[in-house]
Amino acid sequence: LAKTTQPISMDSYEGQEVNITCSHNNIATNDYITWYQQFPSQGPRFIIQGYKTKVTNEVASLFIPADRKSSTLSLPRVSLSDTAVYYCLVGDIGNQGGKLIFGQGTELSVKP
């Protein structure tokens, strides 16, 4: 199982771009990388997912280098409402379920 490592916390200001990097050195060939956002007392919410290179959607971008041993979630122009915990999840979710182990996450604090 791929173990993930993220910074425990990050601070930013409104309007800035925030990049959160996740290390997953033992990622397996079939593993995908998925990022989630969690607000207090709520379940995590899916943000973005990728396998390699770059993926972009309406809220974020995900950059994955060729060796796939890390990934970076990029949040453009953050606002106060982006204050949350962000989790990187690496796993073979195409394998009809199975162990999906979360890391400790990154607590992002956006200040005015």
Partner 1 sequence: SQTIHQWPATLVQPVGSPLSLECTVEGTSNPNLYWYRQAAGRGLQLLFYSVGIGQISSEVPQNLSASRPQDRQFILSSKKLLLSDSGFYLCAWSSGQANNSPLHFGNGTRLTVT
Residues that bind partner 1 (CB under 8 A): 32, 34, 36, 41-46, 49, 51, 85, 87, 89, 93-94, 96-105, 107
67 versus 99: smaller Cβ distance to partner 1: 99
> Closest distance between partner 1 and the C-beta of residue 85, in Å?
6
Closest alpha carbon to 74 in 52, 50, 56, 53:
56
54 versus 77: smaller Cβ distance to partner 1: 54
Per the CB < 8 A criterion, the answer to whether 33 and 88 are in contact is: yes
Give the CA distances from residue 49 to residues 14, 83, 95, in Å, rounded to whole numbers and listed in that order: 25, 20, 16
> Closest distance between partner 1 and the C-beta of residue 15, in Å?
26
20 versus 87: smaller Cβ distance to partner 1: 87
